[in-house]
A and B are shown apart, each in its own frame.
Chain A
Amino acid sequence: MRNYLSPVVANLPPSGIRKFFDLVSTMKNVISLGVGEPDFVTPWTVRESGIFSLEQGQTMYTSNAGLLELRQELARHLEAKYGLRYNPHNEILITVGASEAVDLVMRALVSQGDTVLVPDPAYVSYGPCALLAGGNVTYVPTRASEDFRLRLADLEAVYTPDAKVLVLAYPNNPTGAIMTRDDLLPIAKFVEEHDLLVMSDEIYSDLTYSGSHTSFASLPGMRDRTLLVSGFSKSYAMTGWRVGYVAGHPDLILGLTRIHQYTILCASITAQMAAIEALRSAEEAKQEMVAAYDRRRRLMVHGFRQMGLECFEPLGAFYVFPDVSRTGLTSEEFAEQLLQEEKVAVVPGTAFGPSGEGHIRCSYAYSTEQLQEALVRIGRFVRKRL
């Protein structure tokens, strides 16, 4: 067939994860540490309220912005957590997962010739969404020696005057890195100086294992420069419900809503009803999940260090990102050979950007038994190569 695809789509790089997924799917008895979602089922009280809403016949569209009740609940939640005040009437938009919010932000802010600054490595969709919006992408390297935090010097080194949006994604997928308030302050100053807008994807904020998460929007002067993106998937084990949100200055939210009303109309009402319940009554269930991730995190870091590999301590999300370069293999070679020899699936760090080279992403959203078995197998694999 003649190539009907638009040049932007035709040139969009395929997701490194997809390629690996296809390989793993052909094999049996694989222990996979490749999953980017919780192993818990949504807490029962949340599922039950979704079911109840269906029984009540709640099967209609909601307003474009989402149920006001949910936006009000979110406004309370954000104020209690970060002291951030958002008007539920015009400063919060409910989206189909945080993924939709990322897309909306890029499309609403970026146009031809604008550059989006994206930390590297990071979740796979920021760059492609910026490209689809017609922008250019500049990756800002981060490194293990600095715990994969975004550093001012690296930002300054790649900055060009056409930069318009800075993406922040902490706690970070795939590294598990966090940014403390002190880490973020110089970034905020940089944002102010260069008149940038920030898309802060804080989907993993509740999965922070040292101190409490600092929202970028809560820094002085940053509230109106930040579009705070988050959702329910990771905190409440609700990935399949597809419900997220974005909060920010009303002028920006209005722009996002304009796209959202034509392309999506609204997030599913069932998911929105369940999300209200999650905010109201799933705090304890959430804390229990967080405590479980924290225990497994310690287990994994210890396991990799025992093998003689360098593994910086991730303080957020549910991934470890050990350095496997001592084995003499590239990320991709390591992941492929490990899969063939020991039937353990991990994701090569390069799937998340060039700075991921030398690393693998291992999710610890698995039972302790599975993790222990995986560590035994990976240990055997690594020993042969050290």
Chain B
Amino acid sequence: MSPEDRQLLRLIEQDCRQTPEELALQTGLTVEYVKGRIRQWEEDKVIVQYRPLLNWERTGEEKVAAIIEVRVLPQRGFGFDKIAKRIQKFPEVKTVYLMSGAYDLALLIEGKTMQEVALFVAEKLAPLEHVQSTATHFVLRRYKADGVELLGDEETPQRLVVSP
């Protein structure tokens, strides 16, 4: 990947609302080139989706999240893929990772209440064939997500209005 493309992709990652014209202006690339690259990245699923990073806590909406450690038995010929693909189909499951270490899959689950999440684990997840055990950790607070600090005072440097 060329440095220009890397910079372009990073800019889109930081703020995908910028138009190809704005991106071209800042990077010194042509509008046609920027449009072409974006189209290609969309086709190649490098750019998977465009969506905002939300902080639901600020809306006052009830929402809970949990990280669930899952130990599973790998299946002959499929490893962990088959069970992972089955688990990821549940809409409550937002993220699925295969992990090294003491457990196999890490899931990020979202629901409206703790009870809803607990029921999902007890009724849907734990009884699945090949799932050996689960451990549920509720998220108490999100400090930083996807590289963005969500809480606390923003770092706004207090600069003088005019300086040499």
| Interface residues of A, Cβ cutoff 8 Å to B | 15, 17, 20-21, 24-25, 30, 32, 34-37, 39-41, 123-125, 173, 291, 295-296, 298-299, 302, 345, 347, 368
Contact = CB atoms under 8 A, between A and B. Distances in A.
A21 to B, nearest CB: 4
Nearest to B155: A41
A17 B28 contact: no
B26 A296 contact: yes
Nearest to B15: A368
B162 interface: yes
Given A295-B26, A299-B25, A299-B26, A34 B161 contact: yes
Contact of B162 (A32, A39, A41, A125): A32
A342 to B, nearest CB: 15
Interface of B: 7, 11, 25-28, 155, 157, 159-164
A39 B26 contact: no
A35 B27 contact: no
A35 B26 contact: no
B161 A36 contact: no
Given A296-B26, A299-B25, A299-B26, A21 B157 contact: no
A21 B28 CA distance: 34
Per DSSP, chain B at the interface is loop
A298 B28 contact: yes
Given A295-B26, A298-B25, A17 B157 contact: no
A39 B163 CA distance: 13
B155 to A, nearest CB: 5
A320 to B, nearest CB: 14
Contacts of B27: 295, 298
A25 B27 CA distance: 35
A302 B157 CA distance: 27
Nearest to B23: A295
Contact of B163 (A17, A40, A291): A17
Contacts of A41: 155, 157
Contacts of A34: 161-163
A37 B159 contact: yes
B7 to A, nearest CB: 6
A234 to B, nearest CB: 12
The 10 lowest CB-CB distance pairs between A and B, nearest first, are: A34-B162, A295-B26, A21-B162, A32-B161, A36-B163, A24-B161, A124-B164, A41-B155, A17-B164, A35-B159
Contacts of B28: 298
A20 B162 contact: yes
B26 to A, nearest CB: 4
Contacts of B161: 21, 24-25, 30, 32, 34-35, 345
B164 A125 contact: yes
Contacts of A35: 159-163
B164 A123 contact: yes
Contacts of B11: 295
Given A34-B163, A37-B159, 8 more contacts: A24-B162, A35-B162, A36-B164, A37-B163, A123-B164, A295-B11, A298-B27, A302-B25
Nearest to A23: B162
Nearest to B28: A298
A298 B11 CA distance: 15
B159 A39 contact: yes
Nearest to A352: B164
A37 B28 CA distance: 24
Interface centre among A21, A30, A123, A124 (most CB of B within 10 A): A21
Interface centre among A34, A41, A125 (most CB of B within 10 A): A34
Contacts of A20: 162
Contacts of A295: 11, 26-27
A292 B155 CA distance: 17
B145 to A, nearest CB: 18
A296 B7 CA distance: 13
Contacts of B162: 17, 20-21, 24, 32, 34-35, 345, 347
A32 B157 CA distance: 14
Interface centre among A25, A291, A299 (most CB of B within 10 A): A291
A37 B7 CA distance: 24
A39 to B, nearest CB: 7
Contacts of A36: 163-164
A275 B28 CA distance: 33
Contacts of A39: 157, 159
Contacts of A291: 7
B27 to A, nearest CB: 7
A15 B164 contact: yes
B5 to A, nearest CB: 13
7 contacts: A21-B160, A24-B162, A34-B161, A35-B160, A40-B157, A41-B155, A291-B7
